[in-house]
Homo-oligomer: A and B are copies of this chain.
Amino acid sequence: MDIYEAIKRRRDVRSTFKGDPIDEGTLAKILMAGHLAPSVGYSQPWNFILIRDVQTRKKILEETLRQREEFAQKLDDDRRKLFNTIKIEGILDTPINVVVTCDPSRFGPNVLGRHTMPETCAYSAVLAVGNIWLAARAEGVGIGWVSFMDKDRVKGILNIPPHVELVAYLCMGYVTNFPEIPELEERGWNRRLPLSELVFMERWGMSPEEDFRRRLDETKI
């Protein structure tokens, strides 16, 4: 699949998962795409934990539902009503969940480029997630990133050592379809922002000239 096509058609999938398994060859390709991501000082700080066991996933789902309820309490009535109709995870609807972590001790302590920005360790793992997401899209596999969780509890469930950071929790499976429009846009949770409002020239707050603004907003990929 063309790179722009994958970027454009990738979705954060929550509602359209099917349960059928992903074969090992496809899974290996998707994970290899993650492993070829950029990393600070070439430190490759990621690990990938593949979770198929349903009991483990049920424990994590409980955690997620608790956090969902906590978030709902923060919303005003209208937003809460809308939120209550939105599906936030596919933990048990998918054949496999993948946890991506980062280990700051790898090739450490002097990782090139990290001393000024220690968060670049986690950022490297996020770049692996990005590659995984796009490769999965090309394979017809949908991914939903779940962040409704207390990371320390989930680390406990998965025996992740204290010094290793849990970066992402991904639900992964084939889908009936990839929605044309992101679910949260379609449901009216948020709107897509025009690119021209997000681009500044030379320093914060300086808008591009009219021509370039128009070009930014009209660009199709």
What mask results when residues 9 to 28 of chain A are scored 1 for a CB within 8 Å of chain B, else 0? 01010000000000011001
What mask results when residues 68 to 94 of chain A are scored 1 for a CB within 8 Å of chain B, else 0? 001100110001000100101000000
Give the number of chain A interface residues (Cβ < 8 Å): 105
Asked whether A42 lies within 8 Å of B199 as measured between CB atoms, the reply is: no
Selected contact of A28 from candidates B6, B192, B215, CB within 8 Å: B215
- List 18 other contacts, CB 8 Å, given A47-B199, A49-B203, A50-B201: A3-B6, A29-B219, A35-B198, A38-B145, A42-B189, A44-B192, A46-B198, A48-B199, A50-B202, A71-B112, A71-B116, A74-B115, A116-B147, A116-B149, A117-B149, A127-B130, A160-B204, A161-B204
Closest to A89 in B: B113
Return chain B residues, CB-CB under 8 Å to A193.
Answer: 35, 44
A-B contact pairs, 13 of them (CB 8 A): A4-B135, A28-B212, A28-B215, A28-B219, A41-B184, A42-B184, A49-B202, A67-B115, A116-B150, A130-B131, A157-B203, A159-B204, A160-B203
Closest to A216 in B: B28
Copies per complex of this chain: 2
Q: Which of A31-74 contact B (CB under 8 A)?
A: 31-33, 35-38, 40-44, 46-53, 56, 67, 70-71, 74
Interface of A is mostly: mixed
In the bound assembly, the distance between CA atoms of A85 and B143 in angstroms comes to 41
Return chain B residues, CB-CB under 8 Å to A208.
Answer: 50
Return chain B residues, CB-CB under 8 Å to A185.
Answer: 42
